[in-house]
Structure 1
Amino acid sequence: MIVAVAQRYFLEHGYAATTMSGIAAALGGSKGTLWTYFRSKEELFAAALADQAHRYQAELSQLLDPSIPVQTALERACASLFKKITSPEAIAVNRLIIAEGARFPQIARMFFDLAPKNTRALLATFIGDAMARGSLRKADPSEAAQALTALLMGGIHKQLLLGGIDDVDQNVARAEVHCAVDLFLRAYAPSQD
């Protein structure tokens, strides 16, 4: 409950304008009670980010199933990841980090470590295993995961971040995901020795 209210509060007010008193008031409780759970605004912000990130990464882990063909697993995982990163909540968090990360570098590091870095690590593990099985050509799995996420974050995601569009046409989204996975699989196709 505390974390959910804090998530909304941070997104509505930004990091700088959020206070523990404001969150306590939104909860309908006292600041003292809030302080017994979280020692600082930064700790509460970390908990709010971690809650979302860990829940999503658990879902993504299920989609990256090594027992199904690599293309199928990547298409499912990338469709899910694309939906996540283009959701209004994710766009709002990204905008908050971009807007306030220079003044509060600790929140930018926190966000990167909890969300993009951990998500890429999950993808890298799956990709590395696929490389070891010969389903993808051998390369650096971390670099491959970074390339795949970069493909997903180019078009629609960037337009949403910049306010060029307000919502995602699902046909365009499917095409963008398909294109990203197709390009990735072409780049990392096993050698035909």
Structure 2
Amino acid sequence: MIKCGRPRKGEESLSRDRLLDTAFKLFLEHGYGNFCLETVAKEARVSMRTIYSQFGGKAGLFGAVIKRCSDRFVTVLSEDNVLENQPDEALANFAKQYLQAITRPDAVRIRAILLGEALRFPDLATQFYEQGPQRTLLHLAQFFARQQQAGYFVAVDPHILADQFLGAFRSERFQKLQLGLAPTPDEAEIDVWARQTTSLFLQGCLKARVPAK
């Protein structure tokens, strides 16, 4: 007997996950301009109506894909995960998660697609920025604001602190990775990268001068 009616909540969740998995795979294979919603619907075994009702179209679906990717690390600095009285360790842990996310080959590929097609598809750039970098920046700024209230950081705009911290990782090393001139770092390399950069951000690079006698 064929079941009728609305799918149950668990089935809806599985269907959405399958749809996002399929969309992510096809984005990597075909880019954005050649990405076809009909192909996504067929491979994910959902209707076009479902895609439009849930995401509004191709840009919205791409935004949902990016949001799910960023969800993996954007909450690392949530209240439950922040180490009380140890913001330096919290930032180092966040940095490690952040680097693991942005240096994955599929993440590098997505960024390359974005840079190549953003001018032709401004909705693509908007969805990527709002669901990825902007979410991360705002979440990190909230962390700095909380830690400023606790007396750990100087009274600088927390958004500037967040921007400077994230910018420290989008460095020459990351640019070489983006261009295919460097291999994907392993876990040990990422740990060193995260901790050294976090330490430099927190302490600066000037040595304390010994006053002349």
TM-score class, shorter-chain normalisation, is: 0.7 to 0.9
> Offset at 1:29?
5.0
Alignment partner of 1:88 is 2:105: yes
Would the alpha carbon gap of residues 79 and 39 (structure 1) be closer, same or farther in structure 2, given more than 3 Å must change?
closer
Alignment partner of 1:129 is 2:149: no
Gaps of 5+ in 1: 188-193
- Cα distance in 1 between the residues matched to 2:69 and 2:75: 10
The residue correspondences of 1:1-193 to structure 2 (distance < 5 A) are 1-28=18-45, 30-31=47-48, 34-61=51-78, 65=82, 67-187=84-204
- Cα distance in 2 between the residues matched to 1:30 and 1:135: 52
Does structure 1 conserve the Cα–Cα contact (< 8 Å) formed by 2:59 and 2:127?
no
Would the alpha carbon gap of residues 185 and 32 (structure 1) be closer, same or farther in structure 2, given more than 3 Å must change?
closer
> Offset at 1:181?
0.6
Q: TM-score, normalised by structure 1?
A: 0.86
Higher percent of residues as helix: 1
- Cα distance in 2 between the residues matched to 1:155 and 1:172: 15
Q: TM-score, normalised by structure 2?
A: 0.78
- Cα distance in 2 between the residues matched to 1:125 and 1:35: 33
Whichever of the two has the greater Rg, that structure is: 2
- Cα distance in 2 between the residues matched to 1:121 and 1:38: 23
- Cα distance in 2 between the residues matched to 1:133 and 1:13: 48
Gaps of 5+ in 2: 1-17, 205-213
Would the alpha carbon gap of residues 63 and 184 (structure 1) be closer, same or farther in structure 2, given more than 3 Å must change?
farther
Structure 1 consecutive aligned stretches of length 4 or more whose deviation exceeds 3 Å: 28-39, 169-172
> Offset at 1:86?
0.9
Would the alpha carbon gap of residues 50 and 172 (structure 1) be closer, same or farther in structure 2, given more than 3 Å must change?
closer
Which range moves more in the overlay, 26-35 or 170-179? 26-35
- Cα distance in 2 between the residues matched to 1:35 and 1:130: 41
> Offset at 1:76?
0.9
> Offset at 1:121?
1.1
> Offset at 1:97?
0.8
SS at match of 1:89: helix
- Cα distance in 1 between the residues matched to 2:99 and 2:80: 13
Query: What do you get for the CA RMSD once the two structures are aligned?
Result: 2.1
> Offset at 1:23?
1.1
> Offset at 1:155?
3.7
**1:26-77 CA deviation, whole Å, 9 max, x = no partner?**
2245545544544422222222222222343234436751524111111111
Does structure 1 conserve the Cα–Cα contact (< 8 Å) formed by 2:37 and 2:58?
yes
Would the alpha carbon gap of residues 36 and 174 (structure 1) be closer, same or farther in structure 2, given more than 3 Å must change?
closer
Q: Between the two proteins, what is the percent identity of the paired residues?
A: 25
